[in-house]
Structure 1
Amino acid sequence: MPKAEYALMYVTDDGIRDDNSFFAILEAALKGGATIIQLREKTSNTLAFYKRAMRCKDLCNTYGIPLIINDRLDIALAIDADGVHIGQTDMPYDVARRLLGNSKIIGLSVSSKEQAEKQNAQAADYIGISPIFSTNTKTTDLAQPLGISGLKEIRELYKKPIVCIGGIHKDNTQEIITNGADGIAVVSAISKAAHPEAATKELKEIVCKTGTN
Structure 2
Amino acid sequence: MRRPWLVLLVPAREVGVKTVYEAIKAAVVTGAVDVLQLRATEGDEEREVKKAGSQLNRLLQSQQGTRLLVNCPSMELAAGVGAHGWHVKERELSVKGVEGRIRDAKMRHLSVGVSVHSVESALLAAQYDVGYLQVGTMFPTASHPEKDQAEGPQLLQAIRDTQKNGSIMPPLIAVGGIQTQEHVDQVLTAGADGIAVIRGILTASDPTEATLAYRQWMDQHERQSNNQV
Q: TM over 0.5: same fold?
A: yes
Contact 1:83 1:104 in 2 (8 A): yes
Contact 2:4 2:218 in 1 (8 A): no
Q: Which residue does the alignment assign to 2:29?
A: 31
- What is the rounded CA distance, in whole Å, between the counterparts of 2:122 and 2:175 in structure 1? 15
- What is the rounded CA distance, in whole Å, between the counterparts of 1:89 and 1:207 in structure 2? 30
Alignment of 1:185 onto 2:218: no
Alignment of 1:80 onto 2:98: no
Structure 1: runs of 5+ lacking an equivalent: none
Q: Which residue does the alignment assign to 2:91?
A: 89
Deviations 1:112-168 (A, max 9, x none): 1111112x334111101021222112345x695221222111112253200011111
Q: Which residue does the alignment assign to 2:165?
A: none
Q: Which residue does the alignment assign to 1:146?
A: 151
Instruction: Pick which of 84-93 and 120-129 moved more.
Output: 84-93
- What is the rounded CA distance, in whole Å, between the counterparts of 2:193 and 2:52 in structure 1? 28
Structure label with greater radius of gyration: 2
Identity of aligned residues (%): 23
Q: TM-score, normalised by structure 2?
A: 0.82
Cα distance change, pair 35–41 in 1 and its aligned pair in 2 (3 A): same
Higher relative CO (Cα under 8 Å, sequence separation at least 6) belongs to 1
Q: Which residue does the alignment assign to 1:202?
A: 213
- What is the rounded CA distance, in whole Å, between the counterparts of 1:31 and 1:58 in structure 2? 13
- What is the rounded CA distance, in whole Å, between the counterparts of 1:37 and 1:135 in structure 2? 19
Q: Which residue does the alignment assign to 2:179?
A: 169
**Aligned AA for 2:21?**
F
Structure 2: runs of 5+ lacking an equivalent: 163-167
Matches within 5 A, 1:103-114: 103-114=109-120
**Aligned AA for 2:37?**
Q
The root-mean-square deviation of aligned C-alpha atoms, in Å, is: 2.2
**Aligned AA for 1:104?**
L
Secondary structure at 2:29 match in 1: helix
- What is the rounded CA distance, in whole Å, between the counterparts of 2:80 and 2:110 in structure 1? 14
- What is the rounded CA distance, in whole Å, between the counterparts of 1:35 and 1:191 in structure 2? 16
Instruction: Pick which of 64-73 and 13-22 moved more.
Output: 13-22
1:19 positional shift? 3.3
